[in-house]
A and B are shown apart, each in its own frame.
Chain A
Amino acid sequence: DAKTTQPTSMDCAEGRAANLPCNHSTISGNEYVYWYRQIHSQGPQYIIHGLKNNETNEMASLIITEDRKSSTLILPHATLRDTAVYYCIVRDTGANSKLTFGKGITLSVRP
């Protein structure tokens, strides 16, 4: 079962930052937060992951609260191609380290 809660949908204007929230209040100490996205019916695309420190890469930034109970994915300058379903996933990093997908949040970027 997914251990995260995300809003169903949100939108933002092209060129503006998109801030996608995620709650994971039951996260445990060895679990990481991962973000993936899925455009149309393409395969899920890895975006970023983190444990407790904020992370940034060429796609996005991940801000994790100090208590690790929630996080925010930030797309700094959203484009129309960022319209997708975004999944926040808490992953146990033990041996059986599959990803369990929830319903995600549908981000619509408007012109």
Chain B
Amino acid sequence: EPEVTQTPSHQVTQMGQEVILRCVPISNHLYFYWYRQILGQKVEFLVSFYNNEISEKSEIFDDQFSVERPDGSNFTLKIRSTKLEDSAMYFCASSEWAGVSPLHFGNGTRLTVT
């Protein structure tokens, strides 16, 4: 069964550094998402992306964050200058189309900012 893959599984970085989290969505999917989950808290929506542009973003997704689909297969989340509070699990998801089509999630990247 096709799945969403994320790399790396764990990323450790120092405060102020830039990080790029990578995702390969399911191949025929058109909608892409990033979520995060701080330890012990809810899964929170960050951004949705379709047709090479952001469809919707949350208040969390400020100017420090950006997303990109650099080629036909990868979907990336960049954090320009990481803060301690960015430490979390980051989940990528994709769906075949908007509306009813369910989101399928990857197993996440654990980001630790020291």
Contact = CB atoms under 8 A, between A and B. Distances in A.
Interface stretch (A7-15, A65-73, A96-104): A96-104
Interface size class of B (residues with CB under 8 A): 20 to 34
B102 A43 contact: no
Interface stretch (B13-21, B42-50, B66-74, B79-87): B42-50
Given A96-B48, A97-B98, A102-B42, A44 B56 contact: no
B45 A46 contact: no
Main secondary structure on chain B at its contact with chain A?
A: strand
Contacts of A101: 35, 42-45
Nearest to A38: B43
Interface in B63-114: 89, 91, 93, 95, 98-100, 102-108, 110
Given A95-B55, A96-B56, A98-B33, A46 B102 contact: yes
Interface residues of A, number: 22
A49 B56 CA distance: 23
Contacts of B44: 101
Interface of A: 32, 34, 38, 41-46, 49, 87, 93-103
Given A96-B98, A101-B45, 12 more contacts: A34-B102, A41-B37, A41-B108, A42-B107, A43-B106, A49-B100, A93-B99, A95-B55, A97-B98, A98-B33, A99-B45, A101-B35
